[in-house]
Amino acid sequence: MILRLDRVQVNLPPPSDPDPAGAAAVQELLGGKFGEMSTWLNYTFQSFNFRARQSARPFYDLLASIATEEFGHVELVTATINSMLTGASSADDGRAPGNGLADVLGVGNPHHFIAGGQGALPQNSQGRPWNGDYVFCSGDLVEDLTHNFFLETGARNNKLKVYEMVDHPAARALTGYLLVRGGLHQVAYARAVEHLTGADLMKLFPTPRIPTDKIPESRQHIERGEHLRLYRFSQDDFQEVAAVFNGPHPETGEELEVADVPHPVGAAAHDLPPQPVVFAPDYEPEEISEIAQRLRKQAGLPDKPTGLVSDDSRDLSAALATKTRP
Amino acid sequence: MILRLDRVQVNLPPPSDPDPAGAAAVQELLGGKFGEMSTWLNYTFQSFNFRARQSARPFYDLLASIATEEFGHVELVTATINSMLTGASSADDGRAPGNGLADVLGVGNPHHFIAGGQGALPQNSQGRPWNGDYVFCSGDLVEDLTHNFFLETGARNNKLKVYEMVDHPAARALTGYLLVRGGLHQVAYARAVEHLTGADLMKLFPTPRIPTDKIPESRQHIERGEHLRLYRFSQDDFQEVAAVFNGPHPETGEELEVADVPHPVGAAAHDLPPQPVVFAPDYEPEEISEIAQRLRKQAGLPDKPTGLVSDDSRDLSAALATKTRP
Amino acid sequence: MILRLDRVQVNLPPPSDPDPAGAAAVQELLGGKFGEMSTWLNYTFQSFNFRARQSARPFYDLLASIATEEFGHVELVTATINSMLTGASSADDGRAPGNGLADVLGVGNPHHFIAGGQGALPQNSQGRPWNGDYVFCSGDLVEDLTHNFFLETGARNNKLKVYEMVDHPAARALTGYLLVRGGLHQVAYARAVEHLTGADLMKLFPTPRIPTDKIPESRQHIERGEHLRLYRFSQDDFQEVAAVFNGPHPETGEELEVADVPHPVGAAAHDLPPQPVVFAPDYEPEEISEIAQRLRKQAGLPDKPTGLVSDDSRDLSAALATKTRP
Amino acid sequence: MILRLDRVQVNLPPPSDPDPAGAAAVQELLGGKFGEMSTWLNYTFQSFNFRARQSARPFYDLLASIATEEFGHVELVTATINSMLTGASSADDGRAPGNGLADVLGVGNPHHFIAGGQGALPQNSQGRPWNGDYVFCSGDLVEDLTHNFFLETGARNNKLKVYEMVDHPAARALTGYLLVRGGLHQVAYARAVEHLTGADLMKLFPTPRIPTDKIPESRQHIERGEHLRLYRFSQDDFQEVAAVFNGPHPETGEELEVADVPHPVGAAAHDLPPQPVVFAPDYEPEEISEIAQRLRKQAGLPDKPTGLVSDDSRDLSAALATKTRP
Amino acid sequence: MILRLDRVQVNLPPPSDPDPAGAAAVQELLGGKFGEMSTWLNYTFQSFNFRARQSARPFYDLLASIATEEFGHVELVTATINSMLTGASSADDGRAPGNGLADVLGVGNPHHFIAGGQGALPQNSQGRPWNGDYVFCSGDLVEDLTHNFFLETGARNNKLKVYEMVDHPAARALTGYLLVRGGLHQVAYARAVEHLTGADLMKLFPTPRIPTDKIPESRQHIERGEHLRLYRFSQDDFQEVAAVFNGPHPETGEELEVADVPHPVGAAAHDLPPQPVVFAPDYEPEEISEIAQRLRKQAGLPDKPTGLVSDDSRDLSAALATKTRP
Amino acid sequence: MILRLDRVQVNLPPPSDPDPAGAAAVQELLGGKFGEMSTWLNYTFQSFNFRARQSARPFYDLLASIATEEFGHVELVTATINSMLTGASSADDGRAPGNGLADVLGVGNPHHFIAGGQGALPQNSQGRPWNGDYVFCSGDLVEDLTHNFFLETGARNNKLKVYEMVDHPAARALTGYLLVRGGLHQVAYARAVEHLTGADLMKLFPTPRIPTDKIPESRQHIERGEHLRLYRFSQDDFQEVAAVFNGPHPETGEELEVADVPHPVGAAAHDLPPQPVVFAPDYEPEEISEIAQRLRKQAGLPDKPTGLVSDDSRDLSAALATKTRP
């Protein structure tokens, strides 16, 4: 079972200039063979299928913890794509019928507009859907962990390439963050293999052989120690990750650590504006709004929506910290 | 972001006779077009991509809550398949090389044994992988909710068929439970459409037109009111589901309700035994166990594993209730 | 069994400026999940597999009638794409070898030129092939009809988006027409569900919530009553559609009606010119023509081809009306 | 545009013993690379995309005529599969919940039961969906016709193999008929290539090199001349096929001929009984029947259903001949 | 460019009892994600795309050499499958029409019989086709080699599982041999990564953690030193493999070595008998034989076929050794 | 078994201006349905599965010989794509992080950069992976050869279209050469069918009906007689091709001939420069070079790399001719 928090792991820039071609490229990090859906679902299936988990508890706890963080990465990539697509449809009053999508004809992934509502899709940068063949789950612990190390290596490669290809601020903020956290997972799996076999994989870092701290957008996260700190993403469970996730970081020599809180405080998500040309959330969004308000009133809810969304005019971290109870 | 609890939504029977052919059929409920991966990922993507969510908060909260429950359904289906596969490999001492898989040649899904470690796969009953084309996310709220109602209808159909096809106790317990919870979601989406449009969908229930309470394995859950109660699956968030999820149940007329706890207490998962013929978790599982024990000691963890797994000799519900803090 | 008429359902504009990027987008309406191949083949399979059809004859007749119309929609979408691709290859004398396709490098769907002869393909807007997973055929009548209502809803969404994206006159004429006819099918399936269950789906119209009569290119067809009139597309059969297709139109309140002719008169298709760069129909098209003429003579056929093709210099409706014998 | 007749091309045996394994094999003739969906949709797309059709009219007419017949072949294969699946679910009163599908666990294509209502699917013998990559449509007339000859060759191969594999009477009647008609199409395309190029392909017959008249179930159709006679499947159009379809049959030397009626009289389809375990057409089929009867009455239709279905107690050919008006 | 030798790498048992179910399972080693097509085409593409190959020549030579050996592995797997399928069709005189395939209805992969001529297919054990997504070719040398190590690990896992599942003598001989050679490649890639990065991967062996010499059918090859010896599979090229492939074997400590001959002598392939029920190579195979003989005579070839095929009555190794000129 | 030569079949131009859009189009000739992977793997599988090969030796030898040549065609297409992609990433010092891929955002196939290292992929011009359904291998010799003739026909069509679409010098040199060799294979299969059946296919040439000698880049190869000469691509084997490959060329009437050398001398491949933005072969390519040099020294290899790569400053044909020993 999981519980969900209505927030994202890290603050992303608000929508700026639309970049549908860039959004199509960023899809690789979502639905590509090495995208976040793959890391998420690989580790999730491996944890579901883990046999004799009690006797190998530290490894099970590691898989479950990282799997759970990956949900948040998928969420961040979708938020980035959604942000980059905001404003890409252009119409005078923003309402069909007209030429509201003429500007994006031949640009980016046509499904972002025709199938979706200017929103992210479980597809790669070529518009091909993610599929279950991307999940590897042999049940052999050494082999699964070796796979995961390789998967994170490929994922790091793809993030670096997308960084080079897309300079939209949201894409850069995203990749800067994911490189740090993905790098940590790459280390975690290598260390787990080392513990199980006695092999020494430390000199494999970094692969690709560019240090993460060369990425300007990664540095702030490194400075906060996010390249060293594993979260369990659970209130009470998965306490044994510390038995596997320890020792020196292969690149910096600093000690790896398990966070004493279950998860980072994170940030409220941006509430992206309607895109009425694609009927998201409706041809006449204000009608939805009125209905929702009426329903809220009938249910005895407060006048103002109870959820927190990003509001550049004030700092929400205090509000979020109150809600979060590690 | 999500937090994970190391437990499942409902207690399933412990492994009994292996049933690899049945396990292959149950895969439809996992990786089929109408399987739990589809419900899970459809609602998850719809919630990620939800535009103007603040002004339509009750609907966003509904999608997020149900999406989060679906993770637990995926977990239950995998647990069922894993249980049904346990014991399907047969060798004298349980170790290669030998004829340990000869009995399953031509039986069920060969990937359960060759690709996996007698574990669940993101595939359907034909061994075809789940893929992203099964996700519908138009961003148009009325349309997405209409889709979701239809998706739950198809899912209910498939569960009933698998019930008819597979009489293994784990499969029956699974479908009995999922029919109740899936039925609730079917109602939830229909009600949401009604609120948004004014249409009356209540006479569409039940579809397929067999009442759920005819299913013996569903009755205990109906008696506990699980056909009426929506959980938010969040400590603090998604409070506005009550604005949408309300009114009479279309079949029984009882009032729908939002649970005052974030999630059901659930049950500890079964710790399934190693299957060394397929190297799950290893050719010599006891070595993994020794390594794990040594690592635990080095990390200063208690002598006994800290996680809870199902133990038929004692009742764990008190222990779980202590951990859970709704 | 079917009989074929050598004509299309509605007149489309003759080829004008080529628009290969637009043609690639229009492919979504042909081979996409919600394209006309999907509507056509869903209803066709449902009618083939219909059990106990005699005792549910009105529903069977409805499915068969609409399925048959959809063939004509597929035909119209292909005609539109073919028209938009005409002239996209450019060479001095129109013959290889040269740079005849250089202008379309990187534009639109490369298979339109490399695999095809500047012709339509069973693919979507991303160049992915239509596949049988898009067919839903549970055999459960309520469920199949619910699906069909949803399918038409998604199809309407996609048509509106393509309208916004592509302003080529052929694409606009196409979508204007299909929105009217698809809207009628959406109503038909909703009504069928209402008859079977007693539910009231009328307030679901329109979805997406933009009225069809806002589309300028749809208005002429609405004025002719094409939004109200179901054709049986059969000389003698499927007489019982009237038992299902009746009552008020959900948006206008006008009475739905079954046409007293089997099909609309339609229009002769445009005979699109050769595109010798892609060898369609040949590197030297005139040779084909000579061979055909010789064969016709040998067979005792008249000097002039017997088929009717669109000829902007004269009105063919009388000729067609003579041939058609409703 | 097409018109549909509520009948099939040839009479098939009524349901007898169910044969779900055989039905799974017969799917190759429906949704396989060389199945009837492929022949149908290849020729249909080729006819839609045919450029300069007026100047190559005989070839266009040939493609359109054969394409139209192929619809009827798809219909026959589905009817066969549906017939072979009838009775495969077994329950005391034929109603869920129970073990109604236990007998088919691990037998045949699980989607026949879980996804479908004991009905045919657009899939091949491995349960993989038909897809648009099976359509070849280069627009180059010589090449398309060469392809079609090869496609019919592969189709003939597959039919002969299915004949050898499945001895269910419906499957044998089906393959016996299709071999004769498919063989005719193989000849038609070879002859068309000969007319266009001057090549002599006659010695390629038969391929595979077993004469069709060795198939007992084919002989009755050969005796009726169905191996020689092309139908236009159109009331008025496609008159120029005679310019291409002529000359001696490559195996027998008999003259090929164009039928002077648009289509064979055909036969009424069997009305297959409900399979309530899979909800086809409903959990309580008699309710559907009552609703239909009420709707018919309200619409002023006769008391008895107007459609013709196969009734082994009387000969329907006179009734069908009355309706058909060649 | 490649040159082909008309022989296989190792002698396999002649056809014995047919085992179509086993043949379907062995397909995983051919067309599965970790099958020989994957190893073959991964390394082949990596060698084709190798940039700056002159300055990294030892690594390029290693990839090219191993890639070339993998062709021979694909050949061996197909030979095994073909052998296991021989005799699976049963008819009195071995000729259609009849029930020649009735025995294999529902057994194994139906495409072995319907699509193929009782021959191997580029598919996995589920009948799904191999596809290009199985090729990883990032161009980053460290990453590609890491991938290859992982790929060989997965391949070893799958071979061990197929060994456990299928006890047909041909399958056992195949897996026994491939485990030795694949194990060598696993070592080779690990060593290459070690040379490039300084990491120590030796303790990862064996994975799965069963030593290869526990497999009875592997021992003869180990005794011949085939677990230590890399062949260049080229007369003159790829001389620099010795710079990478050296040092101790991780399991045995023996020195790795580069063979001083380009390839093992190998063995003549079995000439498998016709299977006329599936028309392989023809309905009347003797006609093919007569035609071939006539053509040979016309071409002035000797009376007896010039190729060598396995002939259990005599030892061909001398003949092969004469032909091979290392 | 195969042996590999470290050279390509024909000299291609060195890298010039990058053309990523063109490279994406050329992918059709590699991984498309009619690309070189298809010809290669079709004939390879057909030769592996050939039953009764001894008694039909000339046909077996023909398949094996042509299959072997096709490897070299795949190699040439990849070399062309790699050459066209060289230089497409642009950064000041060629090293991440930066905007090194910004210029190719939205241009060509994104996987060329994100998944690959500016290298060829087993995909078609739409970025879809090659798959095993493109292999036809019925085992029926007449049918397989008929298929191969058709496959070569489609391949010729696609090459001509790519020629028209892409005018990059490498693409033109490639297609000019492949049209000549593919044309030869088209003739070879037609002739084989003629020998087996007695049919006369010569008038089918050319299809598409443009003579190859109209292609300027093809003429030099025709002048060298490469349109007439089949190589066995084997030192000793496949001697019986001469029994099938003989008689007049269908277009020119010249005699077909079997080369008296096993393969053309060919040319050294270009050693393409590193592309450090995509880490091919590394972020710091010089480090790889130093490691390689050290390893070479340790292995006692000469100071200079032993492999031959294209060096525009001198003629390597003498060096190659020395190595090659026909």
Residue B92 above 80 pLDDT? Answer: no
E194/F324: higher pLDDT: E194
The arithmetic mean of pLDDT across residues F43-64, rounded, is: 97
Looking at chain F, which residue has its C-alpha nearest residue D210?
A: F140
The arithmetic mean of pLDDT across residues B295-307, rounded, is: 95
pLDDT band at B311 (very low <50, low <70, confident <90, very high): confident
Residue E325 above 60 pLDDT? Answer: no
Residue E326 above 60 pLDDT? Answer: no
pLDDT band at A318 (very low <50, low <70, confident <90, very high): confident
The predicted pLDDT at position B313 comes to: 64
The arithmetic mean of pLDDT across residues C183-191, rounded, is: 98
- CA C287, C290, C296, C300 dihedral sign is negative
| Buried/exposed code over D264-299 (b: 16+ C-beta within 10 A; e: otherwise) | bbbbbbbbbebbbbbbbbbbebeebbebbbebbeeb
- For residue B158, the chain D residues in CB contact (below 8 A) are 114-115
**Pairing, β A257-258 against β B257-258:** unpaired
Residue B104 above 80 pLDDT? Answer: yes
The predicted pLDDT at position F319 comes to: 79
**What burial class does residue D326 get, using C-beta atoms within 10 Å of its C-beta: 0-12 exposed, 13-18 middle, 19+ buried?**
middle
From the candidates E28, E164, E166, E203, which should be mutated to test the interface with B, based on the most B CB atoms within 10 A? Answer: E164
* Amino acid identity for residue F198 in this structure: G
The arithmetic mean of pLDDT across residues C179-201, rounded, is: 98
The arithmetic mean of pLDDT across residues A161-170, rounded, is: 98
E200:A204 CB<8 A: no
* Amino acid identity for residue D1 in this structure: M
Query: Do residues C161 and A280 lie in contact, with contact meaning Cβ atoms separated by under 8 Å?
Result: no
In whole angstroms, what is the distance from residue D277 CA to residue D225 CA?
43
% of chain C at pLDDT higher than 70: 97
Q: Give F139-188 pLDDT, tens digit per residue.
A: 999 999 999 999 999 999 999 999 999 999 999 999 999 999 999 999 99
Which tokens in the block code for residue D87?
């009775």
| Buried/exposed code over B200-214 (b: 16+ C-beta within 10 A; e: otherwise) | bbbebbbbbbbebbe
C143:B153 CB<8 A: yes
For F129, list phi and psi in degrees, rounded to 5. Answer: -70, 145
Residue B35 above 50 pLDDT? Answer: yes
Nearest to B305 among A54, A121, A323 (CB): A54
Which tokens in the block code for residue A132?
């279950």
The arithmetic mean of pLDDT across residues B97-110, rounded, is: 96
In whole angstroms, what is the distance from residue F27 CA to residue F124 CA?
5
Which tokens in the block code for residue B10?
């409902």
In whole angstroms, what is the distance from residue F27 CA to residue F32 CA?
7
Residue F209, min C-alpha distance to chain E (Å): 30
In whole angstroms, what is the distance from residue F252 CA to residue F227 CA?
10
DSSP bridge partners of D128:
none
From the candidates E27, E89, E114, which should be mutated to test the interface with D, based on the most D CB atoms within 10 A? Answer: E114
Looking at chain B, which residue has its C-alpha nearest residue E107?
A: B106
pTM comes to: 0.97
Q: Which residue is it, tokens 């492929």?
A: D38
The predicted pLDDT at position C92 comes to: 62
DSSP structural state of residue D208: S
The arithmetic mean of pLDDT across residues C265-277, rounded, is: 96
Residue B322 above 80 pLDDT? Answer: no
* Amino acid identity for residue F71 in this structure: F
Phi-psi region of E180 (alpha: psi -120 to 50; beta: other; left: phi over 0): alpha
| Other residues' Cβ atoms within 10 Å of the Cβ of residue E176 | 22
Count of all residues that appear for chain A in the document: 326
Q: Give E203-262 pLDDT, tens digit per residue.
A: 999 999 999 999 999 999 999 999 999 999 999 999 999 999 999 999 999 999 999 999
In whole angstroms, what is the distance from residue A176 CA to residue A213 CA?
10
In whole angstroms, what is the distance from residue C225 CA to residue C227 CA?
5
In whole angstroms, what is the distance from residue C244 CA to residue C235 CA?
19
Q: Give B125-134 pLDDT, tens digit per residue.
A: 999 999 999 9
- Residue among C24, C16, C27 at smallest CA distance from C169: C16
Helix axis angle, E169-197 to E141-165, nearest 10°: 160
A125:F114 CB<8 A: yes
Nearest to F99 among A32, A108, A164 (CB): A164
The arithmetic mean of pLDDT across residues F202-223, rounded, is: 97
SS3 E259: coil
Residue D165 above 70 pLDDT? Answer: yes
Nearest to A142 among E143, E200, E207 (CB): E207
Q: Give F4-16 pLDDT, tens digit per residue.
A: 999 999 999 999 9
- For residue F58, the chain E residues in CB contact (below 8 A) are 292, 295-296, 299, 301
In whole angstroms, what is the distance from residue D89 CA to residue B164 CA?
9
- CA D81, D83, D88, D90 dihedral sign is positive
Which tokens in the block code for residue F41?
């793997």
- For residue F57, the chain E residues in CB contact (below 8 A) are 292, 296, 305-307
The predicted pLDDT at position D314 comes to: 67
The predicted pLDDT at position B318 comes to: 77
% of chain B at pLDDT higher than 70: 97
Helices (H), F224-301: 285-298
Q: In whole numbers, what is the pLDDT of chain C averaged over residues?
A: 95
What is the rounded radius of gyration, in angstroms, for the C-alpha atoms of chain B?
21
The predicted pLDDT at position C252 comes to: 95
DSSP bridge partners of E3:
F3
- Dihedral of the alpha carbons of D233, D238, D240, D246, in degrees to the nearest 10: -20
% of chain D at pLDDT higher than 70: 97
- Dihedral of the alpha carbons of E235, E241, E247, E252, in degrees to the nearest 10: -60
DSSP structural state of residue B200: B
SS3 E257: strand
The predicted pLDDT at position A90 comes to: 80
Query: Do residues F47 and F63 lie in contact, with contact meaning Cβ atoms separated by under 8 Å?
Result: yes
SS3 C321: helix
Q: In whole numbers, what is the pLDDT of chain B averaged over residues?
A: 95
Residue B326 above 50 pLDDT? Answer: no
Residue B258 above 50 pLDDT? Answer: yes
The predicted pLDDT at position A326 comes to: 45
- Residue among E38, C199, D291, C57 at smallest CA distance from B203: C199
Q: Give D233-284 pLDDT, tens digit per residue.
A: 999 999 999 999 999 999 999 999 999 999 999 999 999 999 999 999 999 9
Which tokens in the block code for residue A258?
């398990």
The predicted pLDDT at position F321 comes to: 79
The predicted pLDDT at position C105 comes to: 98
pLDDT band at B324 (very low <50, low <70, confident <90, very high): low
Residue A192 above 50 pLDDT? Answer: yes
The predicted pLDDT at position A257 comes to: 98
Query: Do residues B36 and B77 lie in contact, with contact meaning Cβ atoms separated by under 8 Å?
Result: yes
- Residue among D273, D287, D258, D213 at smallest CA distance from D82: D273
Q: What is the 3-state secondary structure (H, E, C) of chain B?
A: CEEECCCECCCCCCCCCCCHHHHHHHCHHHHCCCCHHHHHHHHHHHHHCCCCCCCCHHHHHHHHHHHHHHHHHHHHHHHHHHHHHCCCCCCCCCCCCCCCCHHHCCCCCHHHCCCCCCCCCCECCCCCECEHHHCCCCCCHHHHHHHHHHHHHHHHHHHHHHHHHCCCHHHHHHHHHHHHHHHHHHHHHHHHHHHHHCCECHHHCCCCCCCHHHCHHHHHHHHCCCCCEECCCCCCCCHHHHHCCCCECCCCCCECEECCCCCCCCECCCCCCCEHHHCECCCCHHHHHHHHHHHHHHCCCCCCCCCCCCCCCCCCHHHHHHHCCC
Helices (H), chain D: 20-26, 28-31, 36-48, 57-85, 141-165, 169-197, 216-223, 285-298, 317-323
The arithmetic mean of pLDDT across residues B80-103, rounded, is: 89
The predicted pLDDT at position D313 comes to: 64
- Dihedral of the alpha carbons of C50, C56, C57, C63, in degrees to the nearest 10: -50
C262:D292 CB<8 A: no
Q: Are F and E touching by the rule of 3+ CB pairs within 8 Å? A: yes
- Report yes or no for ipTM above 0.90: yes
- For residue C31, the chain D residues in CB contact (below 8 A) are 132
**What burial class does residue C257 get, using C-beta atoms within 10 Å of its C-beta: 0-12 exposed, 13-18 middle, 19+ buried?**
middle
Which tokens in the block code for residue C92?
């001095």
The arithmetic mean of pLDDT across residues E74-91, rounded, is: 94
SS3 A227: coil
Q: Give B58-80 pLDDT, tens digit per residue.
A: 999 999 999 999 999 999 999 99
Phi-psi region of E170 (alpha: psi -120 to 50; beta: other; left: phi over 0): alpha
Q: In whole numbers, what is the pLDDT of chain E averaged over residues?
A: 95
Residue A321 above 90 pLDDT? Answer: no
From the candidates E209, E210, E251, which should be mutated to test the interface with A, based on the most A CB atoms within 10 A? Answer: E209
Which tokens in the block code for residue C84?
């938009």
pLDDT band at F311 (very low <50, low <70, confident <90, very high): confident
